[in-house]
Structure 1
Amino acid sequence: MATTIEAYKAELSFSIIWDKIVRYASVGWDTLEEADVQALKWYGVFVRKSTPGYFMIRVRVPGGILEHGRFTAEQLRALADVTRDYGRDTMDLTTRQQVQLRWIRMEDVLTVLEKLNAAGLSTMQTGMDNIRNVTTCPVAGLQADEALDSRQLVKELNDSIVGNWKVANLPRKFNITVLGCCDNCTHAEINDIALTPAKRGDLSGYNVWVGGGLGSWGTQRSLSLDAFVLPEQATEICHGILELFHERGNREKRNKARLKFLIEEMGLLAFRKEVLGRLSFTPLSAGTELTDDHSHRDHIGVHPQKTPGLHYVGLNVVTGRMKLEHVYEVARLAEAYGNGEVRLTTAQNVIIANVPDSKLTELLAEPVLEQLQHDPLPFARGLISCTGNTFCPFAMIETKQRTLELVTYLDQQIGRSVMESIGVLEIHASGCPNSCGNPHTGQIGLIGKKVKVDGQVVEGADIYLGAEHGVHGSFNERWKIAVPFSEMGPLLEGMIRQYIEEREPEEPFRRWCIRNGLIQGELKQFAPMIKDEEHTA
């Protein structure tokens, strides 16, 4: 039996939803029917109960790169213009390389969508039961050591998704990442489909992983489908998986509707057989995985590109929230020092590409780089923070300001010693168990909750420790329950100081946490690694 939401979805189409947006823009937001709140999400328009009368609009930026492989300064400036004219002074970057505009009135939504479309930007299918933004390495096509340039595949996938109603009415949301680099910088392990670089003899292509995800239901690392595909075969196998999910995914229980539950129900071998039976080709079994399990690489800083004499410069946007003056400055810098290309990362940061040697010194001396730093202290650098309860109805705490205060404290107290000894310690924070801030992939993870202190309810979080990078890594595990933010800084400071003092040479944080009984995970074989300065700088 179809649920109420599934019955409602069955009556929708893109044209019907668009007509609803046109009507509500005319008659006003206060006439918005509760059922139609969900429909607007197909065009990236989101009600926010904490800001009645105002909407959030989410903009799709495939792989953080647009327009023939470029997200341009002109497009970034168009986003800032829309926010300035129809919203307020901030713009948010997300962990799926997208942009969120806030404080948009219903009567302005149509105008905003038209202006974004005119700039080559789309908001379609960025919410509800859709394939969310396809992510990829933000420096695809730039790095000399990448295995594959993933940009064309990301474009093909995106073009096959946007406007395709068959994949716009899935049982639940769906995440895809495509990686041509060896760094796993988009966390392949938490995506419903992950394509990672691999070799099969002389062939270069992708290994296929399925069923990863984070949510209030728990965590699941992606599983190998034991399939290797060539770049020209990758879109077809993705759609084979999507077709199966569309047909057999759970449409009766939304908390059991992600792809991972279908795989559990069918069994991985049966799921694989069914997917392969839908293809026009027979994939080879999985090839040699090329992603590394090395330490953190976030693309912040100055890095040489594969083209001699050019660099990309990654800038740290602490908490992922940008003031408009900084957005305009990034657009200006991209045009003045690069070729107008801007890229967005899954760590909520920005990259200016194609900066020649001759302009590098002048770029790094620009005043805005005092706020958007290319060489930040480690805790500000490693921070990911969800929207928080300022706008999100699910979040239990205000995450942006709380985590900013936390990392500022930690950087002041121990930032330099952490940078010198271990490089970066990531803090990933979510305001609720839905895990939009990817808390389980951080070396330190925070999941917000209300905490009672001396009879007063204050903001706090459960603390998780020990995430391990890579498709063969590990999620973090809970260490402390219900810690108020007023106590969190000194608590983490003491624990991290102890790690620095006690660790064996090059001992990973997770292993130290297990060895000292902070978490329960399995103690794996450990061999010290040769320190790679680029990964820890």
Structure 2
Amino acid sequence: MTQLTERTAPRGPKRSARPNGQWKIDGTEPLNGNEQMKADDNGLNVRERIEQVYSRDGFASIDPEDLHGRFRWWGLYTQRRPGIPGGKTATLEPHELEDEYFMMRVRIDGGALSTEQLRVIGELSQEFARDTADVTDRQNIQLHWIDVVDVPTIWRRLEAVGLSTTEACGDVPRVILGSPVAGISADELIDPTPVIDEIKRRYVGNPEFSNLPRKYKSAVTGHPSQDVVHEINDFALVAVEHPELGIGYDLWVGGGLSTAPRLGERLGVFVTEAEAADVWEGVTSIFRDYGYRRLRNRARLKFLLADWGVEKFRQVLQDEYLGRELPDGPPAPVPSEPGDHSGVHRQKDGRFYVGLTPLVGRVSGTVLVRLADLLERHGSQRLRTTPHQKLVALDLPEPEVEAFVSAAEELGLQARPSLLARSAIACTGIEFCKLAIVETKEAAAQAVRAVEERLDAEAHRLPRRLSLHVNGCPNSCARIQTADIGLKGQLLPGTDGEKVPGFQVHLGGTLATDVDGEAGLGRTVRGLKVTAEDLPDYITTLLDRYADTAHDGESFAAWSHRVEEEQLQ
């Protein structure tokens, strides 16, 4: 177990009459099975057993506590056994749901990849993952069908090119989101790369931070489009210009979605580049030491922030962890452009970057290898993943841009996608996820294609921006509460009384990068549910009503919050 150091040992506040598992208040005695598992052995230690025992003796040799717990610290989850319907998700035990294969998450902090790294991921997919690969909305790439026997070989080949799966899952600091155009955009206020690199170097894989109450998500951007969905991260830094202190960061804490969504809040402080990593350590230490551990459904930073409030959180950060006050800082301006970086854009050095859309993030190892070859053939050696399930090709010379765009489209990667394709996001779904109830990737892709065909054939006054997010369960990996149209998977009664795949509908969710206004969670309408089969009809009808009744310049989100429920049915 990662014991509290002398610096962070419990002292000061008295124990609560009803302990919440807060280390600094209640002590470090585990209050549930998950905390006991972490206390028995740090999750980072399982790597040696994977390399020395499990990869040699196979799946049957894996200790259940390692399999269902510590494997996550190295980016590994068992995937869903094929053929188990969604209705069984909540009734079967984990060992009944799981297959003897793994999802492996490749950690890509800041989304930064070289063509060499991309090619290695693609080749590993081809050799060990049945050519599967998904670009996630956390800037990672996920592979499936991984056999534990092959894991050490995969690790060696990833690490040979500077990649890893370290703490890609688990109760740890997850991948750090970063602007996909860091260091190249002409509009950028500050390059967040040094901050991301410093946080990663100091804290990822560090035993002091490898036993947090639950997962911990971070994001840093220097771009005015605020392109890292900062409002739904536990810790986020957004570039801002202070009238006296110059350019630095605005600090946000306590965001998160899932079944109890809460947008993050500004602490109202100004953070310089030099002190950003220290501030990350302070906020993360608060979560480690004061976060709720007794009940796992309250073990996220957002619950602590809700109980403490911004003023107390800031005071504890300054007094107990930084030992100094942070200056007050201004909020960053509301973005005037979307933060997905889709399309063709000039870099500050005169070359170009191209944002590519793989529909709902689904690619393959073959596509990744071919993309690496294509980039090099057109003069580029690097790219970025994005928090919107996209890829951004960097450093293209101007004469190569259109040829690259055409060739990428042949790979299913669109630089100029349609309105819906551009913004469609889908989680893994029942195809691989043990928590899912319905299929998502293909359902979303089919809906996009079907609606696009109808819109091409008819005259529509479409919204300027429109996001469609599809999730296979209530946990919101696809950020359904912050989408214009968010769909939460569930089983619905069919025409013959049988259960069929469908979705509860959320409407009008936004982040600051989606509309010219404040971020807000989507609206739910009582009884508003739609089957997967009827999804194209519903979306088309909804867009027709928007076209007929929206005010001039009114966003889809604003419209969907304004109109009566009957307009949304």
Assess same fold via TM > 0.5: yes
Give the 3-state SS of the residue equivalent to 1:326 in structure 2.
helix
Q: How far does residue 448 in structure 1 lie from its aligned partner after superposition?
A: 0.4
Q: How far does residue 424 in structure 1 lie from its aligned partner after superposition?
A: 3.4
- 1:473-492 mapped onto 2 (5 Å cutoff): 473-479=519-525, 481-492=528-539
| Match among 15, 30, 33 for residue 63 of structure 2 | 33
- 1:358-437 mapped onto 2 (5 Å cutoff): 358-366=399-407, 368-369=409-410, 371-414=412-455, 421-437=462-478
For 2:78, the equivalent position in structure 1 comes to 47
Q: Contact between 1:199 and 1:290, CA under 8 Å: does it hold in 2?
A: no
CA distance in 2, matches of 1:219, 1:45: 26
For 2:487, the equivalent position in structure 1 comes to 446
Alpha carbon RMSD of aligned pairs, Å? 2.0
Give the 3-state SS of the residue equivalent to 1:365 in structure 2.
helix
Question: Runs in 1 of length 4+ with deviation above 6 angstroms?
Answer: 416-420
CA distance in 1, matches of 2:356, 2:390: 6
| Match among 221, 226, 229 for residue 263 of structure 2 | 221
CA distance in 2, matches of 1:93, 1:375: 18
Give the 3-state SS of the residue equivalent to 2:414 in structure 1.
coil
Q: How far does residue 326 in structure 1 lie from its aligned partner after superposition?
A: 1.6
CA distance in 1, matches of 2:141, 2:414: 20
Give the 3-state SS of the residue equivalent to 1:95 in structure 2.
coil
| Match among 292, 300, 305 for residue 258 of structure 1 | 300
CA distance in 2, matches of 1:417, 1:227: 50
Q: How far does residue 282 in structure 1 lie from its aligned partner after superposition?
A: 2.2
Give, as a single letter, the amino acid of the residue that structure 2 aligns with 1:396: I
Q: Contact between 1:443 and 1:465, CA under 8 Å: does it hold in 2?
A: yes
- 1:451–1:84 CA distance, 2 compared to 1 (3 A): same
For 1:325, the equivalent position in structure 2 comes to 366
Give the 3-state SS of the residue equivalent to 2:175 in structure 1.
coil
Give the 3-state SS of the residue equivalent to 2:492 in structure 1.
strand
Relative to structure 2, which stretch is displaced further, 25-34 or 109-118? Answer: 25-34
For 1:10, the equivalent position in structure 2 comes to 39
After superposition, what is the alpha-carbon deviation per residue over 1:51-99, rounded to whole angstroms, capped at 9, x for unaligned? Answer: 622111111101101xxxxx11110100111111112122111111001
For 1:533, the equivalent position in structure 2 comes to none
Q: How far does residue 364 in structure 1 lie from its aligned partner after superposition?
A: 2.5
- 1:367–1:352 CA distance, 2 compared to 1 (3 A): closer
After superposition, what is the alpha-carbon deviation per residue over 1:450-504, rounded to whole angstroms, capped at 9, x for unaligned? Answer: 1111211110001111123318311111135331111221112111112123222
Q: How far does residue 323 in structure 1 lie from its aligned partner after superposition?
A: 2.3
Give the 3-state SS of the residue equivalent to 1:232 in structure 2.
coil
Q: Contact between 1:95 and 1:437, CA under 8 Å: does it hold in 2?
A: yes
- 1:191-230 mapped onto 2 (5 Å cutoff): 191-202=233-244, 203-216=246-259, 218-230=260-272
Give, as a single letter, the amino acid of the residue that structure 2 aligns with 1:13: N
Give the 3-state SS of the residue equivalent to 1:343 in structure 2.
strand
Give, as a single letter, the amino acid of the residue that structure 2 aligns with 1:16: N
Give, as a single letter, the amino acid of the residue that structure 2 aligns with 1:449: Q
- 1:176–1:332 CA distance, 2 compared to 1 (3 A): same
- 1:345–1:476 CA distance, 2 compared to 1 (3 A): same
Q: How far does residue 267 in structure 1 lie from its aligned partner after superposition?
A: 3.0
Give, as a single letter, the amino acid of the residue that structure 1 aligns with 2:128: Y
CA distance in 2, matches of 1:64, 1:31: 35
Give, as a single letter, the amino acid of the residue that structure 2 aligns with 1:386: C
CA distance in 1, matches of 2:47, 2:158: 15
CA distance in 1, matches of 2:422, 2:461: 14
Q: How far does residue 404 in structure 1 lie from its aligned partner after superposition?
A: 0.8
Q: How far does residue 419 in structure 1 lie from its aligned partner after superposition?
A: 8.8
| Alignment pair present for 1:86 and 2:128 | yes
- 1:175–1:150 CA distance, 2 compared to 1 (3 A): same
Q: How far does residue 105 in structure 1 lie from its aligned partner after superposition?
A: 0.8
For 1:106, the equivalent position in structure 2 comes to 148
Relative to structure 2, which stretch is displaced further, 332-341 or 280-289? Answer: 280-289
CA distance in 1, matches of 2:282, 2:410: 45
Give the 3-state SS of the residue equivalent to 1:175 in structure 2.
strand
Q: Contact between 1:132 and 1:173, CA under 8 Å: does it hold in 2?
A: yes
Relative to structure 2, which stretch is displaced further, 325-334 or 43-52? Answer: 43-52
For 1:149, the equivalent position in structure 2 comes to 191
After superposition, what is the alpha-carbon deviation per residue over 1:515-534, rounded to whole angstroms, capped at 9, x for unaligned? Answer: 212499xxxxxxxxxxxxxx
| Alignment pair present for 1:123 and 2:185 | no
- 1:216-365 mapped onto 2 (5 Å cutoff): 216=259, 218-277=260-319, 278-292=321-335, 294=336, 296-308=338-350, 310-365=351-406
For 1:501, the equivalent position in structure 2 comes to 548
For 2:558, the equivalent position in structure 1 comes to 511
**How many residues were matched structurally?**
513
For 1:535, the equivalent position in structure 2 comes to none
Q: How far does residue 280 in structure 1 lie from its aligned partner after superposition?
A: 4.5
CA distance in 2, matches of 1:473, 1:406: 26
After superposition, what is the alpha-carbon deviation per residue over 1:26-61, rounded to whole angstroms, capped at 9, x for unaligned? Answer: 111023232112111111122124262211111110
After superposition, what is the alpha-carbon deviation per residue over 1:151-201, rounded to whole angstroms, capped at 9, x for unaligned? Answer: 111111111222211111100101111011111222111011111111221
- 1:15–1:376 CA distance, 2 compared to 1 (3 A): closer
Q: Contact between 1:177 and 1:195, CA under 8 Å: does it hold in 2?
A: yes
Q: Contact between 1:196 and 1:291, CA under 8 Å: does it hold in 2?
A: no
CA distance in 2, matches of 1:418, 1:477: 27
CA distance in 1, matches of 2:185, 2:460: 24
Q: Contact between 1:449 and 1:482, CA under 8 Å: does it hold in 2?
A: no
CA distance in 1, matches of 2:280, 2:333: 20
After superposition, what is the alpha-carbon deviation per residue over 1:210-263, rounded to whole angstroms, capped at 9, x for unaligned? Answer: 1000012x1101011111111111111111111111111111111011001112
Give the 3-state SS of the residue equivalent to 1:231 in structure 2.
coil
CA distance in 1, matches of 2:468, 2:511: 13
CA distance in 2, matches of 1:121, 1:370: 24
CA distance in 2, matches of 1:437, 1:252: 27
Give the 3-state SS of the residue equivalent to 2:274 in structure 1.
helix
CA distance in 2, matches of 1:56, 1:485: 25
Q: Contact between 2:182 and 2:191, CA under 8 Å: does it hold in 1?
A: yes
CA distance in 2, matches of 1:401, 1:26: 36
- 1:18–1:364 CA distance, 2 compared to 1 (3 A): closer
Identity of aligned residues (%): 31
Give the 3-state SS of the residue equivalent to 1:213 in structure 2.
coil
- 1:153–1:519 CA distance, 2 compared to 1 (3 A): farther
